[in-house]
Structure 1
Amino acid sequence: MTTRTPGELVAVTYLAAARRAVGANRRQAARAAGLPAHVLYRLERGSSGLDLHTATRLLRAYGITSVQDIEAVTRLLRTPDPAEGMQRDSGPGSRERLAACEKASHTVRWWTAFWIPDLLQTPEYAKAAVRRVLLDSAPGPVPLGLRSLSRRGPRITLLVDEFVLKRPIGGPGVMAGQLAHLQRLVESGAATVRVVPVDCGIPPPGPHFAELHLHRTLVYVDESLGVHYATEPPDRSRHRAHLDVLEAAAASPQESYDWIGRARAALGHRQS
């Protein structure tokens, strides 16, 4: 395995998702990009690095040809500034790249104080949530093909602030539908949802961040202002420490399921 920056992990994962989206296997994709098949295999398996030239050829082979889209991806391959601590993904497609990383992860653990994560949203909630002002580069809802979950998807744990369940994004009807969707995800085993009570005594560490176990690497994602990525050793990760504290303070899965049901019923009363 080659050591990769957070940006390179994101770019490689997104390129693999783009290949699958056009229905090409690795041999077909490599031929379309003018690359030896073993180069693409090693790249997606993590045993070789991704350079700007190869990334551009693959993007064009997958039908991603606009200058802005290509620049947004190749920018991820530049060496991050150590002083910044995290690597920012900005510009067109940043939400799609994040969704690709979430779906490709072995596990995903989210904390949210403001909104339900993209991968768990209903279409109606997504349309309303995209208008949130905290994200300065969200171009629109994540395509449904990326948002949908399958049984072979990541193991998901959502740590959600109590107030998120009460905030009727899109109106009571839309929010009630979103909460019903969360309950179905829990019932199907696609996600574990834990509600963090307001009175737990822990100040929110931030509005929205996640821990992804992606390609044998722990990647931390901060969506406070745009999308920022970092990789840190588990024993030195402030992000992991925050998530551990929140998970310890959260209600049990069954208590949380019942909590969502009560919030959904309260929204129903507001509609009547």
Structure 2
Amino acid sequence: MNDIEVWLTTLWCMARTNLTPLSRALGDAIRKQRTASGLTVRALADKMGLRHTAIVRLEGGTRRAPLDELAALLGTVGTPPDERDRIMAMARDVDRDTWSTSGGSGATAQLATLVRYEREAIALTEANALLVPGLLQVEPYIRSVMEGLPPDVIDARTYYRIGRQQILTRAEPPKMLALIDEAVLARTIGGPAVMAHQMDHLVSLVDAGNVEVRVIPLAAGSAAMMASGWMLVELPDGPPVVHLDHAQAGTMLHTRRDVAAFEQARDTIIAATLNPEASRQMITRYAQSYRSTQSEE
């Protein structure tokens, strides 16, 4: 079996198993260490005295290896001590109901896992009371949100976010529902020109057909589950997951109980929003207002 066949086997395993976000990230981390060592799946299996399918399932997130076996594997592929400790910590937590990270390599691994989910999704729902959802942001808005960070960090994060947005313009894109507060439209980030651009972009995405933006008007008061940003990801071959976005931290949820609470929250928030056409009209009015302000400056 060559490596392409091995990878296809991994995908088959993933499609048939209810993976958790952390088990996927753990499998990715193990695969990264193996490929960095230059070993094929079969070569590593031979060194470990295992069947190659055991490595395939481990890297696919469908097999939980005993901790002593995982430690031996990481030693075989020459994993650096710090990275070995991080992967072992992930393995110890792999069956937890939630996966929370705060900065560093853990946050990077979680973001990479979220991006994989986004690419596989058939539907996305993102709720945000403070900012335009990241997948819908234009470049000047992204840069303005990140103002104060080092320029090289801003560049890297901006290009990464723009890359994530390509799922919305590909062939057969996922359906996306963005639930935002009117305050998101009113909050001037980057100045009137940036905001006019951002409002126009939202309208163009709505007109393209696969993105729906619904706005909670200020007069509606508060809405449940809008205190922090979150995304509900629906998949074609597995249960949905939720990502909670906090300042410099994130949490992923996958249990049916936790996810159901956000599915219910989505319906509750929708009931408080303007309908899609009224939301589009509101966004258009804000765009016109920002252009008027820009011309007066």
Q: TM-score, normalised by structure 2?
A: 0.67
Aligned residue-pair number: 250
- Residue 183 of structure 1: CA displacement? 1.2
**Is 1:257 aligned to 2:280, yes or no?**
yes
SS where residue 115 of structure 1 aligns? coil
Residue 216 of structure 1 corresponds to 238
Work out which of the two has the higher radius of gyration on C-alpha atoms and give 1 or 2: 2
Alignment of 1:33-48 (within 5 A): 33-36=39-42, 48=62
**C-alpha distance 178-14 of structure 1, shift in aligned 2 (>3 A):** farther
Name the stretch that deviates more: 112-121 or 2-11: 2-11
Residue 100 of structure 1 corresponds to 116
**C-alpha distance 44-264 of structure 1, shift in aligned 2 (>3 A):** farther
- Residue 167 of structure 1: CA displacement? 1.1
Unmatched runs of 5 consecutive residues or more in structure 1: 19-28
The counterpart of 2:191, out of the listed 171, 195, 215, is 171
**C-alpha distance 31-142 of structure 1, shift in aligned 2 (>3 A):** same
**Is the CA contact 2:23–2:94 (under 8 Å) kept in the aligned structure 1?**
no
Alignment of 1:1-272 (within 5 A): 1-10=16-25, 33-36=39-42, 48-49=62-63, 76-79=90-93, 86-90=98-102, 91-92=104-105, 93=108, 94-131=110-147, 140-141=157-158, 143=160, 144-149=162-167, 150-205=170-225, 206-214=227-235, 215-225=237-247, 226-233=249-256, 237-272=260-295
Q: TM-score, normalised by structure 1?
A: 0.73
Deviations 1:95-115 (A, max 9, x none): 444333223212111110011
Letter in 1 for 2:101: D
**C-alpha distance 236-168 of structure 1, shift in aligned 2 (>3 A):** closer
SS where residue 158 of structure 2 aligns? coil
Percent sequence identity is 24
Deviations 1:217-268 (A, max 9, x none): 1111111241110113269732222211001221111111111111111111
**Is the CA contact 2:180–2:215 (under 8 Å) kept in the aligned structure 1?**
yes
Deviations 1:14-52 (A, max 9, x none): 999x9xxxxxxxxxx799551148678767877x33766
Q: State the distance in 2 between where 1:89 and 1:97 align.
A: 12
Letter in 1 for 2:213: V
Deviations 1:181-201 (A, max 9, x none): 111111112311111122224
**Which structure carries more helix by proportion?**
2
Unmatched runs of 5 consecutive residues or more in structure 2: 1-15, 43-51
**Is the CA contact 2:131–2:184 (under 8 Å) kept in the aligned structure 1?**
yes
Name the stretch that deviates more: 182-191 or 87-96: 87-96
Residue 21 of structure 1 corresponds to none
Q: State the distance in 1 between where 2:89 and 2:123 align.
A: 26
